[in-house]
Structure 1
Amino acid sequence: MSSAVLRGTQMRGPCLPARAPAPRLLGRTRLVVKANAAKDPNAPIQSNPLGSLSSQGNVVAPLPRSEAARKYFRTVYDFPQWQTHRSQFRLVKRLFTIPQSHVIQNALPSISWVGFVSLFVAGYMYGYDQGMLPEGFPAISPNGSCSAFISNTSVALSLLLVFRTNSSYGRWDEARKMWGGLLNRSRDIMRQGATCFPDDQVEAKKALARWTVAFARALRIHFQPEVTIESELKNILTPAELEMLARSQHRPVRAIHAISQIIQSVPMSSIHQQQMSLNLTFFHDVLGGCERLLRAPIPVSYTRHTARFLFAWLTLLPFALYGTCGVGVIPVCTGIAAVLCGIEEIGVQCEEPFGILPLDVICNRIQADVMATLKDDADTKIILAEAGLISLAPSAAAAIAAANGNGAPATNGNGNGNGAANGNGNGVAVVQQQPNNTIVPSAAAAQPSPQKTLQVSISPR
């Protein structure tokens, strides 16, 4: 990715927009937000005054080691892992895995700097005490000024790090809850479609399932551009649908619009349509909330001040501790730097949560549950019809049987005259791709059948 960045600002991944300084206007600095990386790495980045995220800009690109290692933070626990997490030997095990810690590896440059300063102070003072230095070289430790600075600012540094970490965790927790809500709402909208769509609208139910999964995976790629949309959805969407989604400027929004078109194409009550639209509104809320977290970090003035303060504090620490620790100042200061820089690194990692959340696992769960609901709906209706608990119109029974690959289920009610089915519902929603790239039903499929009925009767027990 080739773009200028603001002084002191570091990009945290390929999906983050680059920032470039603009000319001063009336004494204030105006920021011009740049679009994401173009498909051609050498192509110039176009200006994006609105600051909106574009799915076209999120491309798979090589990452530095520190960024590529973020995927190892995506931990999903099950019962055996929780048992290991509560192990009484966990402290000993974690101690021996410090060299493999990605937090320590990412903070290693800062830790190495403190170790180098400590080594310099220890070597200088050892030469000074042994008379190995020429006359006129001053003693740099013990230094009362450095000791006073360290002791009087320790509380302030602790408060800065605590606030930094808590704020970052809050952002991570908010993103996790939004994706958890997306999982629940995806299940719910598929349940509503399976229940509220007429039984002969089998193709509409399948289209709803496909596009619900497509939205979740498009949203994941929008914030984790590690894979392509084609590889994620080639087994989910039809070729025409996949081509339409791939060339969309904002793929999650296009997927939501497709779901909305499918809901509107099915003849059902306005109450049911409104209830399903509430889930689409939640999809929009999740999309907007995730974009807000990505585009609006913790105020950079606070982040930079904390980093500068921590760096200065750790640099002066060896000068303050040599009089007490002697040559032991090297391991002592290096250990303190590892702890404090590790805390700061954790805050940095959690501040942008999408690189460390297991979004692919959530998408897999959404796909499995949505497809299971679609299959279970047909199986359940067949079982209930055979048990005489519900009655299906002949055309609906044939559509369900054809979709399920089984013979026609029983449709004669429950034997007591209360569940007789009538009508021959013949409206099947056929989703077509129109020239304007919208998902709409065909004209024939949009006509509701005046005779289509589904009567439910419960036999007394």
Structure 2
Amino acid sequence: MAAASSETDKCPIDKGLDPNDNSLDAQAERYRASPTRRTVFFYNDWRRARSTNRLWRAMRTIPESQVFGQIVSECSVIVLISIAACLLQLHGLNWLAVNLSFFSMGLPCLSLLIVFRTNSSYARWDDARRILGASLNRSRDAARQAVGWFPKTPQGQILKERMMRYVQAWPYSLKCHLRGGPGGCEDDDNLKETLAGILTPDEITLLLQSSHRPMHIMQCMTEIGREGNLPIPAQINLDQNIAAFSDVVGGCERILRTPIPLSYKRMTDRFLMLWLIGLPFSLAMEVTKAGFSVWMTLPVISLTSFLLLSIEEIATQLEEPFSILPMGPYADTCRNNVDGLFV
């Protein structure tokens, strides 16, 4: 079997987005689809992550941050509003200002909304990560059982190799299933190209004709196990692994198709934006009363908006985890592990 390609996590994003679309949303989707976004850590990566200059490196790369790129328009609008608030304060037109204690009272509520939103999004990401990890373990187990239990006859060897091919194809079909669909960044051409070195042309054709590719592969594995006339304990164990694959698909589809309640997200976003829009008017008045230059409002508002909007943006990115999880490297690992059983 061929070695796994290092390019499998590339996502043909232009097939799902207009290549001429240079909007911030399109740029963000292309970034989320890039292989460098979906990282798998090894020892050297951990050394760099805990290096003594990690904090300065994080500060230095703020302009390159995708999170910053996503919120720069909102931050710019809030800064412009802050400039308007400063000008109004300079001309004594502070009728839009509200006592700063109003914002102080609202801050705990806003903090709780943002924290709950971030925790919920991280829980979804962690759940998806655990599900994919369980899928990898089950793939290894199914491949091990195929090597150990299929008879050493010519027919048994043919069935064993078919089973191993489908075990290798399983994570790639799952990746395409979760990232495909209308507007998705995976399509049939991408899946066909990826599986060309794993399945036979006839097997790929049958797979692409199925409306649910992971289920098709599970059915093929079930039929191979039945044709192999395996011992009853081996059949039971193999079927348990195939059933676990079905649980993986169900768990991933649950995360993908059921977002955090939209009313909760909208309320958090509205609360956050209204709080940030109103804060400059009150802060400009308080800064002036304290004897400082009214323009001190700008750096305070800029930093506050950057921090709060960054947290909200991170929560948004984590909510749908399959576009940022390294599903390609997961699939490559499965493929390499199965290849290793033939050594």
- Structure-2 change in CA distance of 1:347 and 1:76 (3 Å): same
Over 2 Å off, 4+ runs:
123-126, 138-141, 224-227
Residue 329 (str. 1) matches residue 284 (str. 2): no
In proportion to residue count, which structure has more helix?
Answer: 2
Distance in 1 (CA, whole Å) between partners of 2:37 and 2:321 is 10
Q: 8 Å contact 1:210–1:236 — kept in the other structure?
A: yes
Write the deviation string for residues 237-284 of structure 1: whole angstroms up to 9, x where unpaired.
Answer: 111001110111111110110111111110221111010000001100
The structure 2 residue matched to 1:91, chosen from 55, 58, 67, is 55
Q: 8 Å contact 1:175–1:353 — kept in the other structure?
A: yes
Shift of 1:123: 2.2
Matches within 5 A, 1:38-437: 60-62=15-17, 64-71=26-33, 72-126=36-90, 128=91, 138-140=93-95, 143=97, 145-200=98-153, 201-225=156-180, 226-227=185-186, 228-325=190-287, 326-373=294-341, 375-376=342-343
Shift of 1:335: 1.0
SS in 2 for 1:107: helix
Write the deviation string for residues 168-203 of structure 1: whole angstroms up to 9, x where unpaired.
Answer: 000000000000011111000000111111122111
Distance in 2 (CA, whole Å) between partners of 1:146 and 1:245 is 64
Write the deviation string for residues 30-61 of structure 1: whole angstroms up to 9, x where unpaired.
Answer: xxxxxxxxxxxxxxxxxxxxxxxxxxxx9941
Q: What are the ranges of 5 or more consecutive residues in structure 1 without an aligned counterpart? A: 1-57, 130-137, 377-461
Shift of 1:215: 1.5
Write the deviation string for residues 52-107 of structure 1: whole angstroms up to 9, x where unpaired.
Answer: xxxxxx99412611222223531211111111111111111111100001011111
In proportion to residue count, which structure has more strand?
Answer: 1
Aligned to 1:454: none
Distance in 2 (CA, whole Å) between partners of 1:242 and 1:356 is 27
Write the deviation string for residues 116-142 of structure 1: whole angstroms up to 9, x where unpaired.
Answer: 11011112323x15xxxxxxxx3347x
Which has the higher Rg, Structure 1 or Structure 2? Answer: 1
- Structure-2 change in CA distance of 1:233 and 1:306 (3 Å): same
Distance in 2 (CA, whole Å) between partners of 1:179 and 1:275 is 20
Give TM-score, length-normalised by structure 1: 0.65
Q: 8 Å contact 1:125–1:140 — kept in the other structure?
A: no
Identity across the alignment (%): 35
Distance in 1 (CA, whole Å) between partners of 2:14 and 2:225 is 31
Distance in 2 (CA, whole Å) between partners of 1:359 and 1:110 is 31
Distance in 1 (CA, whole Å) between partners of 2:175 and 2:211 is 15
Give TM-score, length-normalised by structure 2: 0.86
Q: 8 Å contact 1:146–1:316 — kept in the other structure?
A: no
SS in 2 for 1:208: helix
Paired AA for residue 169 in structure 2: A
RMSD over equivalenced CA pairs, Å: 1.6
Q: What are the ranges of 5 or more consecutive residues in structure 2 without an aligned counterpart? A: 1-12, 19-25, 288-293
Aligned to 2:6: none
Aligned to 1:432: none
